[in-house]
Structures are given as C-alpha cells and as structure tokens.
Structure 1
C-alpha cells in the first residue's frame, strides 16, 4: 500500500504538479499529446491534464495485478475512486486530482465530460465478455471515451456551441476507429473491447464520423481541437500493412504541418 501511494501520489501533501510533470503523464498518449501541442500556449497545461487523466482511466482496463483484488473488479474499484473524486465525495488524494477539480471549478472543462471518460471505461469492463456485443454499445463507449477527450479539448479552447462540440466528439471517435484499425491486434491480446464486426465495417464507421466533423462553422481558432482527424484520415485510408507498427515520420509531419497552419492567429 505504501508503494502504491508513492507511485500514484495518493497521500501527497502537494496539491499541484508542475506542468512538465503533467506532460510526462500525458505523453503515454503520443498522438493526442502531439496534437495538443498546437493548442494556444495557455491551454496546453489543461490539455496535458485531461490526457493524463484519460491515461489513468485507461489503465483501469488492464488486468488486475493485486493479489487481493483481481480481474474486472480491480478496474471497477479504481474507476469508482475517480468517480467519487470528481463528484466530491472523496478527497483529491491523487497527484492529478486537484488540477482536474480546478479545471472544473474554473469552468474550463465540464465535470460531466470527465465523468464520461470514467463511464466509458466502466462500460468496457461490463461489455468486454458479452458473447454478442452490439455496434451501438461500441459507439456509446467510443463517444464517451475518445469522443469526450476531444470535446474536452474544445471546452478548454472556450467552445460553447454544443453542435461544434458534438462535431469534435465525432473527430475523437474517428481517431479512435482509426486507432483500432492500427492497434486492434495488440488491444485484443490485452483483452480490450474491440469493434464487433468486420474490419471494413469499422473503416466505414470511421469515415462516417469524419464526415460528421466536416462542414462549415468550425472557426479557425477551434480547429486545433480537431487535429486528431489528420491521423484518423491516414489510418482509415490504409490497409493492414501498418497494423501494430509505430507511427512513422509521415504521420507526425502531417500533424505538424496542419498544426503549424493554425498557430499564426494565436
């Protein structure tokens, strides 16, 4: 227990992490961390915090390693802990928690958006062993997971139009669909919930979601929140030859070129 508190930061007296420490926690998600670099500088620490939190939530989906609590129950306990923190029924005894709560209190990110990330992971734990999961269940998890991450980026940028935020959710979902095409085999071996259908149906789902993002009304200053669409388009257009491989320079360069085109107005 003492080692666990030291590792997670539970029981720490410090109420905040330095921005570089939060970035280190966020960097376990290299794609979205790269995209978030092109947000306006004042928004980046909040983005690192959301991505670090998402990584913490996803860790709850790994098989339980505790000798006392194993399997999905370990994940449920971890997720319930975060739900209690966000809802204010438990103290913020985690290094990220005070910063997350500050974002909520400052109305920079909606509490419900963060709770949706928890709900998505809870739903995956509930549905992963079902004999015949539905595409509707998969869509709901993706919207509350990858979709909510990009909604949070929009909220950090100050987007208040719910139609725009829904389009950003579609961007996040498209990125998630592309990531499944790329990493599905690895995720499957880890016991993660995969798309309940053939690969080509998954590809069509991702392309439909990209179409939801397209259209007028996405102000230039908000487009940085949609940069994962660059990677989604590339992943959804590929065959299986890139599956399981790290991203190449071409993918990163595509994001950088798109992002650099957005930074001048900031």
Structure 2
C-alpha cells in the first residue's frame, strides 16, 4: 500500500496515524489535499526537535511562511511536502495562526496557565481542523475547531513523556519536580479536552465534516486509556498508536463522532 501513497500521505501515515485513519473516510478527491495539510502540520511541529537555537527555528518558520505566500516556489518545487502545501486551495493568511502558534514550540515552557495551553491547541489543531473543513467544502467549522482543540490537548497529554525528554513542557509553568505533581498539573488539561468534546457533540455539523470530526472519537478513547493508566502520561500504554478503524467506521455510519 505504501508504494501507492504520495510523499505527504506516507509522512502522515508514519507520524500521524490518527489523522491518516480519518482521511480514509474523506471523498477520494479530498484525500490528497488533506494529506498535504496534515503533512505540513508535521513539518511545522518537527521544527523544534530539528534546531538547536530558537532563532534557527524562527528562520525555518519564516521559510514555510514564504513558501505558503508563493515567494519560495523555486525552492519549494523539489520539496514534496512544501510543494503539496503550496498547491492547497487556501490563502496564505489562513495558515498564520498555525505558524504563529508554532513559535511557542521554541520556548521550553511557553504556557503560563491552562488558558494559554488551550489557546495554543486552538491555534494549531483547531486551526488545522477548520482548514480541513474548508478543503472538504463543508460547514461545521465551529464543531471542527472544538474537536481539533480537544484532540490537541489530548495529544499534548499523551506526548508528555516525549516532550519531557526533549526539554519542552506543555504544562502551565513547565514540568514539575515529580510525576505525582505532573499528573496533578495534567488533570485540568485532560478535563478541559473532555469538556470541549462534550460541547462539540451538541453543535450542528453536516455528515460531510465527519472526516475531520472523527478525531474526536479517537480523543475520547485516548482519554479512557489515560484514565485507565491512573492519569500517568509516562505509562507506556498512553502513547501507543491506536487508530481503531472499526470504531471509526461505526461512528461514521452513525453520523456521529
């Protein structure tokens, strides 16, 4: 199957298996644009671990900004992800919240409180979900933003062990001295994610938006796994990929997430 996938699709399959699974529920003609969007997100998210100094990260973010504005076409053409992102039927300003938020990745402990964590989640995955709805040509942007924000909060919780190892922390005020304190600081983040998912459930959205909204199904399952692990993000079960295609298929058939 890998041989038939575009470079963007292969990158998403490798590094964002949850979203890869949801794209398969999109109409055939919408899949490549979604893969390009999600691959762009991966490229931006990876900048922090690819640079040693914040200034180098800012330079890379600016390069991507100029690619999306059309100012780097000669350099973008040989870069399969950059060129796929450049071809998206979106305007460059659509990506600005995402690009600006990624600057926070270059600070070791960028969030002062829970509201700042949520703002980051909304500007990254919430923005991504809105853009995905646009690519699908459907309504449901408000619900998608809520679900995307929740999915990001859950993702930050699940990736806490990885982030801890790289010297970055999504916890308000930074990482704590011991795991019990880290679990306590993480609890409001996961509680807020569950609240956002509940709010999104009662919002109006069309079935056509489900390929974006189905990450909410996965987010709920990830929260269940985290709860079963006693809220410990360092438990190995928490970060394990689990795309759950049958569960997604069931929710898609029901028209819910």
Which TM-score applies when normalising by structure 2? 0.79
Q: How does 1:76-95 map to 2 (within 5 A)?
A: 76-91=58-73, 93-94=75-76, 95=79
Q: Which runs of 4+ in 1 moved over 4 A?
A: none
Work out the CA distance in 2 between the residues paired with 1:73 and 1:99. 26
Do the aligned residues in 1 keep the contact of 2:143 with 2:203 (CA within 8 Å)? no
**Mean Cα deviation higher: 21-30 or 224-233:** 21-30
- Compute the RMSD of aligned alpha carbons: 2.4
What's 1:150 paired with?
129
Q: Quick one: distance in 1 between partners of 2:250 and 2:37?
A: 24
> What residue is the counterpart of 1:73 in the other structure?
55
Comparing 54-63 with 236-245, greater Cα deviation is found at 236-245
The 5 Å alignment of 1:20-169 reads: 20-27=6-13, 28-64=15-51, 70-91=52-73, 93-94=75-76, 95=79, 96-104=81-89, 109-125=90-106, 127-129=107-109, 133-159=112-138, 161=139, 164-169=140-145
Q: Distance in 2 between matches of 1:45 and 1:187?
A: 30
Q: Following TM superposition, by how much is the alpha carbon of 1:55 offset from its aligned partner in structure 2, in angstroms?
A: 0.7
Please state if 1:253 is matched with 2:246: yes
The number of equivalent residue pairs is 230
1:216 and 1:209 map into 2 onto residues whose CA distance is: 11
Cα distance in structure 2, aligned partners of 1:110 and 1:168: 19
Q: Which residue of 1 aligns with 2:180?
A: none
Q: Is the 8 A contact 1:110 1:152 kept in 2?
A: no
- d(CA) in 2 for partners of 1:41, 1:100: 18
- Secondary structure of 2:119's match? helix
- Distance 1:129-1:187 versus aligned 2 partners, 3 A rule: closer
Partner of 2:220: 233
Deviation at 1:138, TM superposition (A): 1.5
Partners of 1:216 and 1:118 in 2: how far apart?
Answer: 28
Match for residue 180 of structure 1 among 156, 172, 184: 156
Question: Is the 1:19–1:45 Cα contact (8 Å) retained in structure 2?
Answer: no
Equivalent-residue separation in structure 1 for 2:39 and 2:162 (angstroms): 21
- Rounded Cα–Cα distance in structure 2 between residues aligned with 1:59 and 1:92: 23
The CA deviation at 1:165 is: 1.0
In 2, Cα distance between equivalents of 1:171 and 1:110: 23
Structure 1 pair 20–261 and aligned structure 2 pair: CA distance change class (3 A): farther
CA distance in 1, matches of 2:203, 2:68: 35
Q: TM-score normalized by structure 1?
A: 0.77
Query: Is the alpha carbon distance of 1:210 and 1:88 closer, same or farther for their aligned partners in structure 2, counting shifts above 3 Å?
Result: same
